[in-house]
Chains A and B, each alone.
Chain A
Amino acid sequence: MAKSLSNIELNLNQFSPIAQSALQHFNLSARQEKVSFEKGVWANETPPAGYIRLRGNAQNPVFLAATQAALGAHIPCLACTSIKTEFGSLYWLSIDEWLIVTSVESRATLQAKLEQSLTGIHSLVADQSGGMTTIKVLGKHAADALSHCTVYDLHALNMGKVVGTSFGKLSVFLCADHDGYRLLFRRSFADYIWRYLERAAEPYGFAIANLS
């Protein structure tokens, strides 16, 4: 009895959680191929990233100055815009809400810098790395496939624009990149969104892209 208890303690000490892809059950990395013109739509989940949700009053110059000091960039205050910075991307989500996407390694430092800079200012900084994921959709028929999934008019989605819209029955943030589309959404939506996308893209020829 005593022996088994100590075994449990030992196992707990050795327990170190590892971030696992929300789509790991599809085994995407083993099925990915080099992107070519043979298929109309290519998609894959992007590697794990650090996601920080930032909230605050965009009308407050003190808040804006504090975020600028921490991030080294002005947060986008224009509706539906995003910017690229040296640490990653900054997305406008709402009039008082932004999403910062950075690498897993730099997430903690950046968050600490933000928290320190925003001390005493009415705001929120939250790590959402465990709750968010991103899918990248490429290919000449990427827009056609996505049109089956979302009500947003993709012709209005210029490069760098980010919109909160529907995907089937769920909500996603949709962003246009130079080479395709980026879907940012909750981790728990991943299975539904991937299956929906795969089904919608199949008539155009679908394959899993090697994004590296």
Chain B
Amino acid sequence: MFVITCPHCCEAREEEEFHYEGEAFIARPVDPEAESDEAWGDYLFTKKNPKGWHWEMWNHATGCRKILVLKRNTANHIIAGSWTLSDARKEYDNERATA
């Protein structure tokens, strides 16, 4: 069981209160109609599934029902942090810029 800190409720809560919402920051194509079937299928179904650090969205389903972003290590389940979507975006972009 994870203990996840909800950035909206500002409190650490049990995993049971949350629902996994998949990989974070997958950009939706600006014009879906113009996309090829491959590109659209890629957007819908291709996920990173790494062994190691993973940026993912969770929904605080029984609490504030808002989306939050976790950076979690899929190999050892260490959680590096949790942010609101906009705050996480900055962290994510910073990390990619420095990598």
Contact = CB atoms under 8 A, between A and B. Distances in A.
B61 to A, nearest CB: 7
A13 B61 CA distance: 43
Contacts of A156: 11
B11 to A, nearest CB: 7
Contacts of A93: 64
B17 A165 contact: yes
A152 B13 contact: yes
A12 B8 CA distance: 48
Interface in A74-104: 79-80, 93-95, 97
A79 B13 contact: no
Interface in B72-99: none
Contact of A95 (B8, B16, B17): B8
Interface residues of A, number: 15
A171 interface: yes
Contacts of A172: 62
A34 B9 CA distance: 37
Contacts of B14: 151-152, 166
B62 A165 contact: yes
Contact of A80 (B11, B61, B65): B11
A56 interface: no
B88 to A, nearest CB: 15
B63 interface: yes
A160 to B, nearest CB: 15
B13 A165 contact: yes
A163 interface: yes
Interface string A150-171: 0110001000000111100001
Interface string A163-198: 111100001100000000000000000000000000
B10 interface: yes
Nearest to B14: A151
B10 A80 contact: yes
Interface string B5-32: 0001111011011000000000000000
22 contacts: A79-B9, A79-B11, A80-B9, A80-B10, A93-B64, A94-B8, A94-B63, A94-B64, A95-B66, A97-B64, A151-B17, A152-B13, A164-B17, A164-B60, A164-B62, A164-B63, A164-B65, A165-B62, A166-B14, A171-B61, A171-B62, A172-B62
The 4 A-B pairs with the shortest beta carbon distances in the complex, nearest first, are: A171-B62, A164-B63, A94-B64, A151-B14
Given A151-B17, A152-B13, A171-B61, 19 more contacts: A79-B10, A79-B11, A79-B64, A94-B8, A94-B63, A94-B65, A95-B66, A97-B64, A151-B13, A151-B16, A152-B14, A164-B9, A164-B64, A165-B13, A165-B17, A165-B63, A166-B16, A166-B62, A172-B62
